[in-house]
Chain A
Amino acid sequence: MSDRSIKTAGTYKRTGLGHWIRQRRINKNWQFYVMLILPLLWYVLFCYLPMYGVVLAFKKYSAMKGILGSPWVDPWYKWFMKYYQSPYFARTITNTFILSFSSLLFGFPLPILLALLLNEVRNKTFQKFVQNVTYIPHFLSTVVLVGMLTCFTNRDFGIVNKLIVALGGTAENWMQVPSLFRSMYVGSGVWQNMGWDSIIYIAALAGVDPQLHESAYIDGANRYQCMWHINLPCILPTVIIMLILNSGHILSVGFEKVYLMQNGLNMAVSDVISTYVYRISLLSSNQFELSTAIGLFNSVVNCAMLVLVNKISKKVSDVQLW
């Protein structure tokens, strides 16, 4: 193979498609492009085709004609207007925002703190033990998690209510108390993901230069000061990157858990955008266009947040995603 190309190298034209291909080594690497065919086909079919399907937000869908053949709606913003004017607009947006913001508020700093504390433990066995224990809940499914919550807080049989009654309170079915929904959602989320989310910070802490600690010790710093003034600033870039990435989800709360925790009594606080979209499209009335429009609105807000936070971070701290 290589022999032949050396022999004939002189006779090749230096222009044309063949030259262009050889220059970029595409002829030698063609098998790599063959490997890429299947994954890229998957991306086209399952990511980019649906992305194009977003035009449905500006159309009147008819099942016979498909997405492409369906006619456009007259004021192009008809479905957005409909969402804006619907009584669910304020409720779903507020609930989504509050849920994801409070999840971020509690779920974001705690893993960092956990990683910093774990890093201070010298007994490796204890450190590994705590680490592995905190990972376990991550492997439970959402259904099991919500099932556990339901069992624990059951009015008649749940252990939480047994405790409350023993302390002199009154038993209640917590899953049906609207005022408890948010704290239960956020609390169980932190319980489940705290350990798992700390992994990335533990990895970052492993990369902190030990010489920094050496010199700080010589200057008389104690371990507490080292943690705050060396370890934390050293992992700050990672922290900021994670914060930027998380801010891109500010208007998307995981559907699975909210939907499972939802019931008729707590709808006022548990109805979020994704459950509303599901309800009006696949569950009951087939309002495909409206739900596409809401989904698009949601994506756009998320993207805008991502770009915005990235910009702010670039200004303030020089750390950025792109």
Chain B
Amino acid sequence: MREFLRPPGVLSEKDFKSRCISCGQCVGVCNYACIAMTPDSLFGLDTPKVFHRESPCFLCMKCSEICPTDALRDVPMEQSGMGVAVMDIKKCVDYQEENMIMCWTCYERCPMKGAAITLESGYIPTITDKCVGCGVCEYVCPIHAISTTPTRKLPPAAKTGAIPSKTTDSTNVAPSAISGTVPEEGAK
């Protein structure tokens, strides 16, 4: 099955499935047409899913407001609990030493701009522990350097808040700090 996230406000997969009655109101109210309904199992009811690689969620939170049975709890966007995005800094162009490209697309499009993704030192995109896993950054990243793991697939520790570093391999440092040199002026 295609990788999917649940819409914001899901407490746990078990709790969600016991409450979701397939009324489709979340789909109807979504401003971004990002919620799809597909069966969870062969004869299961259709439940809402966000296939974020095709159409991510921008955290308008209208779905969690309208859900009649609290399958999607009415929470503020900071508590959406959809998953966690992780950036591979071996791929992200801002972390490369040579032929560096400046790209802030993930930061620009993050619905929690400046909170879930920040620009370290003003220019290096970094995912923080406030990330709720909406999938937008993965969707817009032109290099596909970001991957979002849904909450239901996270190890238990992650769900309680002890999430490992959101940028793999290294913490958020400037490239030259990695190499230890201060940049020099060019041709002249």
Partners in one complex: no
B residues neighboring A (CB under 8 Å): none
